[in-house]
Structure 1
Amino acid sequence: MQTHFSPLTLAYNRLMANSFKSFTGASILGMADAADLDDAALAQALFHAPQAIVSHGTETDPVFCYANEQALMLWEIDWEAFTRLPSRLSAESASDIQSDRDTLLKAALARGWVDDYAGVRISSTGRRFHIRNTTLWNVVDSLGVHHGQAAFIRDWRFL
């Protein structure tokens, strides 16, 4: 069984889709409404989406808990390695870059979401890329319990 389609990941995909819709007013799938799909169909649609989608949990040093196929290719890493990676390691370690990233995460946490984010990230092989037109949002359940933060990356270019 592929872990990116496990029951836990299927449930997390639903939380991501519902939270995205709640904060942005838009469907994470574009024209299709995620609410119309069962969990397995939603997981397939998100995993094979042309945009990169990633999410980390709520740990003190958050660790990625989700990446779709496009994100795994972009970060040049497999699911098992990506879902053990602290999300801060997806950006270069320079203090100003980490500070900008931390500011963005805090803004999204306070507001619920941030749109049109851009920044430089680094793949597992050290390849740098610039992400643009990115939405960052909080992943919350129907009771408002915070489960993590996710990013919907619409555009990128390698540096």
Structure 2
Amino acid sequence: MLQWCQYLLDSYAHWVKHELIPREGTPFDQAENLFNSAFVVVSHVIQDDPILNYGNQAALNLWEMNWRQFTKTPSRLTAESVNRLERSRMLSQAKEQGYISDYHGVRISYTGKRFFVDQATIWNIHKPDGNVLGQGATFSTWRFL
């Protein structure tokens, strides 16, 4: 997970041209700071039906899941079925462009609470050699519907 957090942070800085969190201390310190950030950070790996592989504490709280539940959840299930096509288009756009920074949409928690996400950034997560591993998302603005 430490290596994944480094890829996530390095890729965000690459695409967005600023750091997601202050890059102070060891990789462990940075992973701990990322996990405890007040804003949401999530990611999934690239595969046919991506499974969430990271969610910081803010994400776990928002989606009302523990780490084990969250990291077994198909990414598509973070949106209701009526919103999945729009979500898929957004992920494709981010994949083609490297990132997008103005995403908004409705998501749903594990217990069925609907919430509106605004001004989310979605970016490709890659290794230093450019090999794309997955996609990350972050946002600090949401409201329950």
TM range (shorter): over 0.9
Q: Distance in 1 between matches of 2:7 and 2:60?
A: 20
Match of 1:115 in 2: 101
Q: Distance in 2 between matches of 1:144 and 1:133?
A: 26
Q: Distance in 1 between matches of 2:59 and 2:78?
A: 11
Q: Let me know the Cα RMSD of the aligned residues.
A: 0.7
Q: Distance in 2 between matches of 1:158 and 1:57?
A: 27
Query: What's the CA shift for 1:37?
Result: 2.9
Q: Distance in 1 between matches of 2:63 and 2:118?
A: 15
Q: Given the two structures, how large is their TM-score scaled by the length of structure 1?
A: 0.89
Q: Given the two structures, how large is their TM-score scaled by the length of structure 2?
A: 0.98
Match of 1:158 in 2: 144
Match of 2:63 in 1: 75
Q: Distance in 2 between matches of 1:16 and 1:108?
A: 15
Query: What's the CA shift for 1:89?
Result: 0.3
Question: Which amino acid in 2 is paired with 1:104?
Answer: M
Match of 2:3 in 1: 11
Number of positions where the alignment pairs a residue of Structure 1 with one of Structure 2 = 145
Unaligned runs of 5+ in 1: 1-8
Matched, 1:43 2:31: yes
Query: What's the CA shift for 1:20?
Result: 0.2
4+ residue runs over 6 A deviation: none
**Percent identity among equivalent residues?**
37
Match of 2:124 in 1: 138
Query: What's the CA shift for 1:141?
Result: 0.7
Matched, 1:21 2:21: no
Matched, 1:90 2:78: yes
Q: Distance in 1 between matches of 2:25 and 2:63?
A: 28
Query: What's the CA shift for 1:59?
Result: 1.4
Question: Which amino acid in 2 is paired with 1:50?
Answer: A
